[in-house]
Chain A
Amino acid sequence: MTTANILSLVMTGLGALMASAAVLATKRFKQRASLWLLVSACVLGATGLLVAGILPLSACSSNLSTMLAVSGLGAALSALTLFRQRRETSIIGALLLASTLGIRTIWPSLTYTGLCPSSVPFQMAAILEALAVGILAWGSLFVLAGAKDAGTSTVESVLAVALALQATTLVLRGTGAQWAWGSYWRWDAIECWHLAACLTTAIGLLGVRALNWRNRAARWALYAAACLAVVVSFGLAPLATWLGVNSLYVIG
């Protein structure tokens, strides 16, 4: 194991501890202390991933624990930007960050045997996709936790940010595919799953914005988008890659 990897593990481990401390701080102390701990955990976690070589974007998309950690960062960033005054916000964000950084620390090489292209657009797509999953997961848990005053506006914000990220992911994947083998879209299994996740989010946002979906309908739209995004990113896409139904080649 290289020095950079050891340093990365130490930093992500410390980040996980900080995030856990943020959960406890929210319960026992003041919200401000919790938020600062969460910010520190984010900085440590992100630095740990950078040190390990997430940038310049090497083999991120085939490493599930790294993807999980990026999702945790996405959740924590949502917690730091939306509804900061609420306790549930930082608790959920910190819990997600602590668990994902913890998994990254304990099991850093949780790499599926998939065949993942390693070009910059694909790797950036993987990072944005993971961030979108984190934001959707945080939003769902936040709404599920019963934040009544958050309601439809939170759902709309979460869906809007997630849709922007997922759409960018699709475009980046298309760009990478065009660079690599000259086809930006070929109804590949993985492309289709990501498209389905993106469309589910788009349907949710359309419903909330134009079709007047409120309360329960809006919440269910968010749950559906979050569930599909998680299942696609951490289940179906790796499975399809492993099975090789995407017809990619070995470089991951």
Chain B
Amino acid sequence: MQRASLTILRIVGSPYTTLALLILSLILGLFVGIEALVKRKPYTAGVSYIQRIAAFNETAALLPYTQADGNLGLPSRALLATLIALCALRAAHELVPHWQLPVPSHRLAHTEEFTLEGDIEEAWERATGILSAAGYHLIPAAGSKDAKRSTAHTRGAGRWFLGSLYVGLCLLFVAPLLRWRWGWHSPPLYLSLGETHSVERADIDVTLDQIAFVPRADGTARTFDARMRVEDAGNDDYLTIGLDRGARYCGTSFYYLGYGPAVRVSAWDEQGTPLDIEQIASGAPPQHALRVRFREEQQERLLSIPESDLILRLVSYRAIPSQNIKGRALQIQALRGRTGHVIAGKMLTESGSIRVADTIVDARFEYYAIVGAEHEPELAAAILGGALTLLGLYGTIMWEPHRMWVTMKAREGRCHHRLTVLKRHAEAPWFLSARAKLQEAGGHDDG
């Protein structure tokens, strides 16, 4: 049992295990990277994803991100659990006194042997005293009457960095599990101005209050800020989200996912009386002013004005190069409700109106925002994990831990003293100095 646990500890602590994990991760990273380039490349006939997205004003460009809701399959959870266990063990080796890494295999280790005269207790005390005086912190390991073991570390904060690295990695691997267990995300919320959607899991309502959109010359967004009103049990609060900027309200995070073209349509008769408009096949009640959203998969909408017996057909275009229209355009066709004959039509490149018999239809160009709501319980673990990992990495790189495995065995009335270090430290000044001090104290080099 003891031998098996020692073997496990040796495997866990072995640099070869670390190497195997790094290589596995590298293969995984390369596989995903290559797969993304090879398998997802052919978006129709040379049209890149960018052009496809740009062709519809980035609507839903980020939706793939929200759709990955952190669902982890059993293999992923098992892999994460293994990694967490491994990192936790390594962290424990570094941070928990008396639970030190076993002596590395002879292929990686360099060993110096001395013979000290006298009783083992006395020789051990002398040797450890010398190492302590040389600035080493000795952590005794399990031994026996005739055998003593200890690990010698340099003093100071430097020796904690490797532990910090493993704790950080551990937290980074725990984070996806927290997300999977307690996190959630809402379906994308398509919000026109003034429109309210409910985020059921957070029990709050979100209303799009205002949009600040500054386009580039090509129609894409330079800035896009959406101001939202959040209603939570009678309390109102305002949040602003935009490109590269999310917002948080009572544990629920809101992120910008995209935007798209919308039109506010209203109609009135010659006397200026507002007329009801309804969207055909939507089931929504008629309103005096209707906001219509256009999406990549639906760029045409049909509205009706029952009082005037009119049907309005709206078609949104990002651009119409054949008609030299470089920006957004909206085609409005008015059809007689009873016959279906087209009685008027107009192409709008900006907000405007169209007169159909005694009815005036007004169309205002607007935008709608796509918003994602999420609960992210893993965020604290991820932030702390990232910070500890970086801290540990910097510390380990700058102050590489100095570690010696010290053993002493009594045999035939003499004490055989063994110092083991990693091979690369065999010529390191700190090790040579420690060895020289032990030699000065009366140790005979066994070669």
Contacts and interface: CB of A to CB of B under 8 A. Distances in A.
A115 B54 CA distance: 10
Interface string B1-33: 000000000000001101100110110011011
B43 A164 contact: no
Q: Name the residue among A205, A212, A242, A246 with the largest chain B CB count within 10 angstroms.
A: A212
B394 interface: yes
Interface in B89-137: 107-108
Contacts of A114: 50
Contacts, number: 161
Contacts of B49: 243-245, 247
B397 A192 contact: no
B102 to A, nearest CB: 15
Say whether chain B's binding surface is mostly helix, strand, loop, or mixed.
Answer: helix
A113 B53 CA distance: 13
State which size class the interface on B falls in. 35 or more
Nearest to B28: A192
A218 to B, nearest CB: 11
Given A192-B33, A200-B26, A251-B243, A211 B16 contact: yes
A199 B25 contact: yes
Nearest to A184: B382
A207 B18 CA distance: 10
Interface stretch (A21-29, A40-48, A142-150, A175-183): A175-183
Interface stretch (B153-161, B249-257, B336-344, B409-417): B249-257
B217 interface: no
Contact of B18 (A180, A192, A206, A208): A206
A192 B399 CA distance: 29
Chain A at the B interface: SS class: helix
Interface string A209-252: 11110000000000000000000000010011011111111110
B22 A202 contact: yes
Contacts of B220: 250-251
Contacts of B376: 182
Given A182-B246, A250-B220, A193 B41 contact: no
Interface residues of A, number: 56
A195 B213 CA distance: 35
Nearest to B176: A185
A57 interface: no
Interface string A144-186: 0000000000000000110110011001001110111111101
B25 A249 contact: no
B65 A247 contact: yes
A119 to B, nearest CB: 4
A210 B18 CA distance: 10
B108 A251 contact: no
Contacts of A243: 37, 40-41, 48-49
Given A164-B397, A199-B26, A180 B243 contact: yes
Given A115-B50, A181-B65, A206-B19, A245 B41 contact: yes
